A and B are shown apart, each in its own frame.
Chain A
Amino acid sequence: MRRTAHFPPVTVVVFHDDGTGQACDQWAQPGAWDNVSFIQGLQANLGGQVPRLLPFPYTPAKVGSLAPGSNREKAPMLYHHLDYLASYGLNKDDYEYCMTEYLRMSGIYWTLTALELMNQSSRLQKEEIIEFITSCQDNESGGISASIGHDPHMLYTLSAIQVLALYDRLDAIDVEGVVRYVASLQQEDGSFFGDKWGEVDTRFSFCAVMSLSILHRLDAINVNKAVYFVLSCMNFDGGFGSKPGSESHAGLIYCCVGTLSICKRMDALHADELSWWLCERQLPSGGLNGRPEKLPDLCYSWWVMASLSMLNRIHWVDKKNLEQFILACQDAETGGFSDRPGDITDPFHTLFGLAGLSLLGNTNIKAVNPTYCMPQETIDRLKLEPQILQI
């Protein structure tokens, strides 16, 4: 059963196969969508075509510009995404859901953040999630696991912290324990293990400084050494890989630039060279790839754009073309975003699609902070001020 909430009326639009839309003269209350006879009546009026919804701020005038023949204009189908995201975890026997138990904590973070960006985080069960997180903290190490029965890890410790920060419930866990866990994973050379088994990766440097900064406990690690290690991963192109000597990759670049942003050492970047490498990720389709000669993927729209935002050079990318690519990755039937048009959607890409649109200035979505990938208002509430380069 669809949960209802109080929203303003919506515009009824008919979407054609090529993605163009045509507005109808009708308005509808969201609740009407559950009313079968109302839908049937609409369908009859529209000559049998299946009507869809456009998000509330769209007026018939705006939608008029989506007349058939207009150049594949697609609107963000926020309603569809809301329902798609809100269903996360509802069916505990869902195949995908069960098979991804090993990343559950991150799945919750992606879903909750995406919903919060649309001001609908209330669609998830807050208390249930907080209790789940509490039971995932390992008392001995202080670290937090992806799910019950799984081992603690830096990645899921961060996701847990981010979720609790969104809920303003950091008190729900043993904060000292988390601080102890993260600090214990820092090595002599400044790098961080992912867990006690010793994998080193700049992703974990990012997780470490992000977690501790949210808890206002950066004092617990050696920040200078952490920065030093990240800088040792800088490559000829100004980019970064996962370890010293590893090739540059947009995802790792985001992690390293993010680390330097939190540690206020973005001065050490080769900003012009790196930003140029990043803006060269944009392909003629408008989408972004992760490194030269590779295919575009929606999640790179986040890794690359967030990095460029921190570097204050988001204008080095063609925003309109990128927006079109992001919108084309939506699925009008199931809701959510996928890695590229036509693929299956998932919460991971849905978050980065929405966050990417937010960075591009979409006013129907809340402002997102590029360093933390959390709503800017949450970052303001936490009184965090990650560095953005001057230009």
Chain B
Amino acid sequence: MHGRVKVRTSEEEKARKEKERQEKLKVFKNAMQKIQLKRQQCEFDKDLLELTGKVLMSNPDIYTLWNIRREILQQIKNINTEDDLTKVFDDELSMTEYCLKINPKSYCAWHQREWMNEIFIPGTIVEFVVSQCKSSLQDEFDYTTEKLLDNFSNYSAWHYRSKMLLQLYPDIEGGRPIQDIYHKHELKMVQNAAFTDPDDTSAWFYQRWLLGAFKSTVNLVLCTVTQFKTTIAFSKHVSYDYVTSKSRVIVNENVISGDWISLSGNNHDTLWILGHNVSINDDMNIKVEHNGNEKNEIISCFKYKHMTYIGKSDICFQNNYSHPIIEELNEQLKACRQLLVLEPDNKWTLLTTTIFLHCIDSKLYYQETIQNLQRLKKLDQQRAGYYNDLLTKWSIEEQLPLDYASKDLVFKPTFSEKITILPHLQYYSFCEVVDLSNQNLCSNILPSLIFLQHCKILILRNNKLHTLKGFPNIFLEKLDIQGNKDISEEELKHFKDSHDFVTIF
């Protein structure tokens, strides 16, 4: 079904080919009939092996025929000597090789080889021979090094290398995926690959992974307690078991007992709601405790206004690299900048420089990374959507620590570039006023608004919404959706009718 070029032929050619095919078909149908009959009559003999073999050699994907062969081989295994079995094994292997030459992707042929190894061979002399051939993990790792030094454009080699690296050199004490010295070495290797051929993409994907391979933790970032609702937010998705066993809300030194429900109703979520019976008043001492895997966190909640307590943790999105790695990244950043001078329009060089800047010090290099992303949008137009979202994400991450330090109950992005998505929205779940006006938000973000559990006024004026489908069940007092001209009048009316408790304009 793949790679068959349509060739124009004359009527004569067509007729000749059709005749040939009809003959082939006749032979094929006869063979299949014979095979079915013999199978029905349980004649699992060499004859049937040969018959199925003939058909499979032109049609290696007829899975039932491979099944029949296995039925025959099982019988043969039970009644034959070791010598005969070796021959049978070799013949079958040759058959699969032949089939794989016709169709290198034939799942059936590959599986037959696997089956031979796992089912057919055990207990035979062949098993012993095969077991002597296994190489060590270190050998395999060195093999990938050899392959890569020969030709860096070898995605498979980078892929296998990533697996072995994690198995051979994990930093168990430090809790990092890879020991520093090897992590550094890998970064150098990728740099080598990049300088050899900046257009080969394999090494860049591997590098992205290396840059993401740092210690990461789960933090409880926010606790919001009002007379209506108690919610807690985590930096990452956690399970129901995790929340119930590792976090608790404490009011006036008493742990509140209640039921945790995830925002989505799924078993894993970033925002959790505590159903409880404690009535909240204006004179309480509220804390939230989190027994994370690394440390215990206790966040005190302060009264922001009447019946509203909010506790926020310190926010920092900066990647947590060890010192040797930071050193290496800074070294490589210099080299990247040099390469960029030589190749200002190479998307990979520019993207990598930008990622490095962000990883080393996102705050220090914020302006430069934003400018680079704007340039990448033009240089690599097909992926403009990706660069827009990345720009939004990094801007929000820059903004969050400042918002968390203030006592406002407002979320209003004010960046030079309009935002396109709503990342980390759980962090803003405490806000009463969410002003997302004059941005570039599309309707695909609507379901995320469910995070705005304590929001009273939501402004989505002047965005790019084309429908209100997916708008979640949240209790707002005011909703402004003006200036989204692609939403039909009909849909707007229907929406207003079904949300009559909210003032909508």
Contacts and interface: CB of A to CB of B under 8 A. Distances in A.
A and B: bona fide binding partners: yes
B382 interface: yes
Contacts of B66: 197
Given A99-B28, A293-B155, A317-B383, 14 more contacts: A95-B21, A98-B29, A151-B64, A198-B115, A247-B159, A265-B266, A272-B393, A282-B383, A314-B444, A331-B6, A342-B6, A343-B2, A344-B5, A346-B1
Interface string B31-68: 01000100000000000000000000001011110110
Contacts of A220: none
A321 B63 CA distance: 38
B62 A390 contact: no
Count class of interface residues, chain A? 35 or more
A135 interface: no
5 contacts: A151-B64, A198-B118, A236-B163, A315-B389, A343-B6
Count class of interface residues, chain B? 35 or more
Given A331-B6, A388-B447, A102 B61 contact: yes
A349 interface: yes
A235 B205 CA distance: 11
A8 interface: no
Interface string B378-420: 0001111110010001000000000000000000000000000
A277 B119 contact: no
A235 B6 contact: no
B445 interface: yes
Contacts of A348: 1
Contact of A151 (B67, B111, B115): B67
Interface in A165-207: 195, 197-199, 201
B123 interface: no
A339 B63 contact: no
Task: List the 9 closest pairs (A to B, CB-CB), nearest first.
Answer: A236-B162, A267-B237, A315-B385, A318-B382, A390-B448, A236-B209, A95-B21, A316-B386, A199-B111
A349 B447 contact: no
B335 interface: no
Q: Among the interface residues A195, A199, A235, A273, which one has the most CB atoms of the partner chain B within 10 A?
A: A199
Contacts of B205: 236-237, 277, 280, 292
Interface string A66-97: 00000000000000000000000000010100
A312 B420 CA distance: 12
B5 A317 contact: no
A292 B64 contact: no
Contacts of B59: 99, 102
B138 interface: no
Interface string A329-359: 0010000001100111010110000000000
Interface of A: 93, 95, 98-99, 102-103, 145-146, 149-151, 153, 195, 197-199, 201, 235-237, 245, 247-248, 264-265, 267-268, 272-273, 275-277, 279-280, 282, 284, 286, 291-293, 297, 312-318, 321, 331, 338-339, 342-344, 346, 348-349, 387-388, 390-391
B25 A93 contact: yes
Interface in B411-468: 421-423, 425, 442, 444-445, 447-448, 450
A149 B36 contact: yes
A318 B160 CA distance: 31
Contacts of B442: 315
A262 to B, nearest CB: 12
A316 B383 contact: yes
Contacts, number: 160
B155 A291 contact: yes
B153 interface: yes
Contacts of B70: 197
B344 interface: no
B122 interface: no
A207 to B, nearest CB: 13
A323 to B, nearest CB: 13
Contact of B107 (A149, A199, A280, A291): A199
A185 to B, nearest CB: 14
Contacts of B447: 388, 390
B502 to A, nearest CB: 22
A241 B80 CA distance: 38
Interface of A is mostly: loop
A77 to B, nearest CB: 16
B403 to A, nearest CB: 20
B98 to A, nearest CB: 18
A223 to B, nearest CB: 10
Nearest to A102: B62
Interface string B203-214: 001101100100
Nearest to A299: B2
B92 interface: no
B112 to A, nearest CB: 9
A150 B159 contact: no
Given A236-B162, A343-B6, A316 B385 contact: yes
Contacts of B67: 151, 195, 197
Interface string B72-101: 000000000000000000000000000000
A268 B238 CA distance: 10
Given A149-B64, A199-B107, A235 B382 contact: no
Contacts of A273: 208-209, 212
Given A199-B107, A317-B382, A247 B1 contact: no
Contacts of A199: 107, 111, 114-115
B384 to A, nearest CB: 8
A181 B450 CA distance: 39
B379 to A, nearest CB: 13
Contact of B389 (A145, A292, A316): A316
Contacts of B159: 235-237, 247-248
Given A98-B25, A317-B385, A342 B266 contact: no
Contacts of A391: 389, 421-423, 444-445, 448
A95 B25 contact: yes
Contacts of A247: 155-156, 159
Contacts of A297: 2
Q: Among the interface residues B4, B70, B423, which one has the most CB atoms of the partner chain A within 10 A?
A: B4
Contact of A276 (B158, B268, B386, B423): B386
A267 B266 contact: yes
B1 A95 contact: no
Contact of A282 (B29, B115, B382): B382
A235 B162 contact: yes
Nearest to B445: A391
Contacts of B200: 293
Contacts of A149: 32, 36, 64
Contacts of B64: 102, 145-146, 149-151
